[in-house]
Amino acid sequence: MEWNADFYEDKHGFVADYGKDLLSHVPDNPGQAILDLGCGTGALTQELLAKSAHVVGADASPDMVRKARMLHPDIDFRVVDACRMPWSNRFDVVFSNAVFHWISDQKALLENIFRVLKPQGRLVCEFGAVRNIHRIQQAFQSSLSRQKRHHENPFYFPTVEEYRKLVEQAGLHPELVMDYDRPTPLKDGENGLRNWVRQFFASDLSPLPGAGRIRILEEMESALRDELWDGTQWVADYRRIRVIAVK
């Protein structure tokens, strides 16, 4: 996935906005070390400074890290692969919002998190649960298929039972694993759904000619309008899984 950090910051600020509730699970301790894993443009990394002065933001996207450094020059941001992190016993908290569903190798991810956490360290994360954006994906696949193309699902959306087992297998002790519906309004009125698709399904759209891309967006809007358009904005069919676990 190639990220356009400027477009993301402008049109998808809801990702960080919804992540603010997750911050309540991070203890207030000025001396603790916190890793914001998959920090994006750094909005929640900045919020984490209220919990501790020792915060590192890490993201696999150089463009996201570039933007984060520009917006928050006093924070330590690094380009890091979540499955190949360079630390051991380094952090008291690993925090992550809306990231894990992009990572296919969950075993490597959780083993890395276990390694970078100090003893009694805490994982606080939230990401897409089973059936997250189910209707959006259905509409996108249907429209792509009419152009003789197939949508390769880039996401990992687990059940509670599945993810609890993975967390335990990595050596972490889950305190909370829950899922819930979170209908999510998209910015920019009529253009909200188009903006979302252009960002998160960019790899499927980019090979298509301009007319083909426009056709897909129009067909999706037509297919989803009765369910996801509330009269003033598009409301994406998000479902989330929240995990709190201790080493």
pLDDT tens digits, 53-75: 999 999 999 999 999 999 999 99
Q: Quick count: other Cβ atoms within 10 Å of Cβ 230? A: 10
In whole angstroms, give the CA distance from residue 76 to residue 201. Answer: 30
The answer to whether residue 88 scores a pLDDT higher than 70 is yes
Q: At what angle do helices 192-200 and 134-146 cross, to 10 degrees?
A: 80
Name the phi and psi angles at 4, rounded to 5.
-95, 100
β-pair type (33-37, 91-97): parallel
**Are 28 and 51 within 8 A, CB to CB?**
yes
- Element at 246 (helix H, strand E): strand 239-246
pLDDT computed for residue 148 by the predictor: 83
**Are 61 and 3 within 8 A, CB to CB?**
yes
Does 94 or 153 have the greater pLDDT score? Answer: 94
Structural domain boundaries in the chain:
5-130+155-186+237-246
In whole angstroms, give the CA distance from residue 116 to residue 86. Answer: 8
Computed over every residue of the chain, the mean pLDDT equals: 92
The answer to whether residue 16 scores a pLDDT higher than 70 is no
- What pLDDT, in 10s, does the model give residues 23-57? 999 999 999 999 999 999 999 999 999 999 999 99
Domain 5-130+155-186+237-246 has CATH 3.40.50.150: yes
Q: Quick count: other Cβ atoms within 10 Å of Cβ 121? A: 22
- Per-residue pLDDT, averaged over 142-170, amounts to 93
Q: What pTM did the predictor assign?
A: 0.91
The structure tokens listed for 89 are 């016993």
The answer to whether residue 8 scores a pLDDT higher than 90 is no
Write down the H helix ranges in 123-191.
134-146, 160-169
Name the phi and psi angles at 227, rounded to 5.
-95, -40
Q: How far is CA 159 from CA 19, 126, 178, in A?
A: 20, 13, 9
**Residue with structure tokens 């998959």?**
38
**Residue with structure tokens 């002790």?**
173
Please tell me whether residue 179 adopts helix, strand or coil conformation: strand
pLDDT computed for residue 150 by the predictor: 82
Length of the chain (residues): 247
- Least confident among 19-33, 112-126, 233-247: 19-33
**Are 98 and 157 within 8 A, CB to CB?**
no
